[in-house]
């Protein structure tokens, strides 16, 4: 069930990223600027929900993996973050002008596939690390003790 909710929230926020990127290119008639900021306002809650769901999914999924799988998963996630960070920095270097202004030029940087993948990869790796390091709850400890006695 958690996997389905993760995939649905991932799809909603991904399509939101694509729509916001297109809204930055729309120039309303008779006005200055673009419609991108309106899209960002609507995307923000879905993005937060998607990042939280990604964190939760990887925190719970890491418990079913062997030790070697955990190490390989964390290592693979860190390599993925490195690749996406390199692509993000490469795209940042191609932008002329201020980086922190939300306009048509910087919308390619903030609302594209690389940024979407980067923030979700970071959330997934942090969730997996939390899943490895979290203490066992009281119910799980009681269940483990009963399994050991039998």
Is residue 56 within 8 Å of residue 122, measured between CB atoms?
A: no
Cβ atoms of 59 and 131 within 8 Å: the answer is yes
Structure tokens, 109? 């940087």
User: 125: which residues sit within 8 A by CB, 6+ positions away?
Assistant: 58, 74, 77, 78, 81
DSSP state of 26: -
Residues contacting residue 74 through CB under 8 Å, at least 6 positions apart: 125, 128, 129, 132
Instruction: Tell me which DSSP letter residue 27 carries.
Output: -
Tell me the per-residue pLDDT of 63-95, one tens digit each, with 9 for 90 and over: 888 889 888 989 999 999 999 998 888 887 777
Ramachandran area for residue 97 (φ above 0: left; ψ -120 to 50: alpha; else beta): left
Give this prediction's pTM.
0.78
Identify the band that residue 129 occupies on the pLDDT scale cut at 50, 70 and 90.
very high
Tens-digit pLDDT profile for residues 40-66: 888 888 889 999 999 999 988 888 888
Each residue of 90-125: pLDDT tens digit? 887 777 767 666 666 677 777 778 888 999 999 999
103 compared with 149, residue with greater pLDDT:
103
> How many residues are present in the chain?
150
Instruction: Name residues whose C-beta falls within 8 Å of residue 2's C-beta, 6 or more positions apart in sequence.
Output: 53, 56, 57, 60
């Amino acid at each position: 069930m958690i996997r389905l909710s993760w995939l649905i929230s991932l799809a909603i926020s991904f399509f939101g990223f694509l729509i916001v990127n297109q809204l930055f290119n729309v120039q309303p008639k008779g006005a200055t600027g673009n419609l991108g900021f309106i899209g960002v306002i609507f995307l923000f809650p879905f993005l937060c929900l998607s990042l939280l769901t990604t964190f939760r999914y990887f925190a719970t999924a890491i418990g079913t993996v062997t030790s070697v799988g955990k190490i390989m998963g964390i290592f693979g996630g860190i390599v993925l973050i490195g690749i996406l960070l390199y692509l993000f920095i490469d795209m940042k270097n191609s932008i002329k002008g201020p980086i922190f202004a939300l306009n048509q030029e910087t919308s390619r940087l903030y609302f594209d596939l690389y940024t979407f993948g980067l923030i979700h990869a970071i959330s997934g790796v942090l969730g997996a690390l939390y899943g490895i390091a979290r203490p066992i709850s009281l119910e799980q400890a009681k269940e483990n003790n009963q399994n050991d006695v039998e």
